[in-house]
Amino acid sequence: MIKADTNTVLPNIPLRKKPWRLRIRPYLILLPSMAVLLGILYPFITAIYYSFTDISFRSTTYKFIGLGNWLGMFTSADFWHAILVTLEYSLSVIVLEMVIGMILALLLNNDKWYSKVLNVVLIFPLMVAPVIGCLIWSLMTNNTFGLMEKFLNIFGVYGFPWGASSQTALLYVIMIDVWINTPFVLLLLRAGLQGLPKSPFEAAKIDGGSAWFNFRRLTLPLLKPVIMIALIFRSVAALQEFAIIYSTTKGGPGNTLTNLSLLAYQTAFPYSNLSKGIPMIMVLWIIINFASKRMVGVYNQTRQS
């Protein structure tokens, strides 16, 4: 009979080094993405370098000037105003889209006929390129023949300024942004809702409790990871929003809607002050970097529970 030996110690066989062909494989696989990374890093690093010079389209030479551009930026009122606009815009847009998206996702999370129709139709604004969307809106709000204008006429309001007045311009672009991007939040949250386990909700049905109670105590905590994802995407996009504002008012009237992205573009290109525009974009990058890191941290926490 074969005896089993229960006290073996593994022999110490030295491991052979893998042939170089095998060792190099991981790096080869990574090569394409490294190339893309370099493609992104190169302009990024040169841009940082340029921000310490006086480069502009006005001349073919440039020289190093140290912190001049940076200091000038921090002491310019336009810059701080742009930060204010950036924050105003992104906070309003994010809050509105998350709330409306959540409400719609909850309302349309069933098999009724109107849910089937609306879940498809409501995605359409997302499929339109933002610039085209703004064009559609500017046609709709045209004071002579626009649909919105005719609609407001019913209530006796004529010639509503939309993007032309500094009081209403912010509302106008926020409205367009919400129209374009709420479907995105809706899609994510619906997917999240459908992925939730069904039986706790049946138990909650028996336990009794108003819809709001169940939502607050059961649905919301379960949805935290998905909510964080939607929040991260929307925040990163809203902080650097360019297309919508540029296509509607180019940042006007005055500098009402000039957020950091627009100010940086304006300074660098039409005003030909490339080296002055770079610090602004860098500040935007720092803000977004910081914000998204914090949010990803929160997201990881929600995954653990």
Partner 1 sequence: MKKKVLSILLAAAMAFSLTACGNKNQPADSTPAGEPSSGEAAGGETTGDAGEFSWDKFAGQKINIMFVEHTLTTDMINEIESFEELTGIEVNYTTIPEANYFDKISALLSSQSDTLDIFMTGPYQIWQYASSGYMVDFDTFLNNPSMVDPGYHVEDFYEAVLNSCRWSCNTGEAMGSGSLWGIPLNFEADVMVYNKRLLEEKNLQVPTTTEELTKACEALQNHSGNGTYAFACRGSLSWATLITAYQSFYTTYGGTDFELGADGKMVSTVNRPEGVEATEWFVDLVKKGGSSTWASTTYAEAVGDVGAGTAAICVDASGSCLSVCLENASEEWENLAIAPIPVAKAGQDPMTQIYSWSLAMNNASKAKDASWYFIQYITMPDTLHDMFVAESYSNPTRQSTFESEDYQAILAGVDGYIEAFEASVDNCTMYYTPNSHAFEVLEGWCQTIQELVEGKYGSTQEGMDKLADTLTNIVNQ
Partner 2 sequence: MAENLVLKNLYKKYDTNGKKKQAKEQPWAVHDLNLEMEQGTFVSILGPSGCGKSTTLRMIAGLESITQGSIFMGEQDISSLHPKDRNIGLAFEDYALYPPLTVYENIAFCLRAKKVPGEEIDRRVREIAKTMKVEELLDSKVSGLSGGQKQRVNIARALVRHPKVLLLDEPLSHLDGKMRQILRGEIKRLHHEIKCTTILVTHDQMEAISLADYIAVMKLGVLQQYGTPDEIYNDPANAFVAGFIGDPPMNLLRVKVVEDASYTYAFELGDGSLLRVPEKFYRVIHTGDVFDLGIRPTSITIVEGEEYDARFKVDLFEFLGEERSVGIQINESLLNIVYNDNRRFAEGDIIHIRVNPDLLFLFEPESGERVRPR
- Name the residues that contact partner 1, by CB under 8 A: 34, 37-38, 41-42, 45-46, 49, 56-63, 142-145, 149, 153, 158-166, 249-255, 266, 269-273
Binding partner of 41, given partner 2, partner 1, none, CB within 5-8 angstroms per partner class: partner 1
Binding partner of 292, given partner 1, partner 2, none, CB within 5-8 angstroms per partner class: none
For the CB of residue 119, give the shortest distance to partner 2 in the complex, in Å: 17
For residue 136, report the phi and psi dihedrals to the nearest 5 degrees. -60, -45
Q: Which of 152, 153, 175 is nearest to 163 (CA)?
A: 175
Q: Quick one: CA torsion of 43, 45, 46, 48, rounded to 10 degrees?
A: 120
Side-chain-side CA neighbours of 73 within 13 Å: the count stands at 25
DSSP 254: T
**Between helices 274-304 and 220-239, what is the axis angle to 10°?**
170
Binding partner of 210, given partner 2, partner 1, none, CB within 5-8 angstroms per partner class: partner 2
For the CB of residue 296, give the shortest distance to partner 1 in the complex, in Å: 19
Residue 213 CB: number of other CB atoms within 10 A? 12
CA separation for the pair 75, 69 (Å, rounded)? 10
CA separation for the pair 54, 273 (Å, rounded)? 8
Partner residues linked to 64 by β-bridges: 53
Binding partner of 275, given partner 2, partner 1, none, CB within 5-8 angstroms per partner class: none
Burial of 102 (0-12, 13-18, 19+ CB in 10 A): buried
For the CB of residue 153, give the shortest distance to partner 2 in the complex, in Å: 43
Binding partner of 6, given partner 2, partner 1, none, CB within 5-8 angstroms per partner class: none
Nearer to partner 1, 142 or 194 (CB): 142
Nearer to partner 2, 215 or 271 (CB): 215
Instruction: State the Rg of the chain over Cα.
Output: 27
CA separation for the pair 106, 119 (Å, rounded)? 12
Q: Give the distance, in angstroms, between the CA of residue 58 and the centroid of all CA atoms in the same chain.
A: 34
Binding partner of 124, given partner 2, partner 1, none, CB within 5-8 angstroms per partner class: none
For the CB of residue 204, give the shortest distance to partner 2 in the complex, in Å: 7
Binding partner of 208, given partner 1, partner 2, none, CB within 5-8 angstroms per partner class: partner 2
For the CB of residue 168, give the shortest distance to partner 2 in the complex, in Å: 42
Nearer to partner 2, 1 or 206 (CB): 206
Nearer to partner 2, 80 or 213 (CB): 213
What is the torsional sign of CA 151, 156, 160, 162? negative
Nearer to partner 2, 224 or 250 (CB): 224
Contact by Cβ (8 Å): 186, 178? no
- What residue ranges bind partner 2 (CB under 8 A)? 111, 197, 199-200, 202-210, 213-214, 217-218, 221-222, 224, 305
Nearer to partner 2, 56 or 302 (CB): 302
Nearer to partner 2, 222 or 239 (CB): 222
For the CB of residue 155, give the shortest distance to partner 1 in the complex, in Å: 12
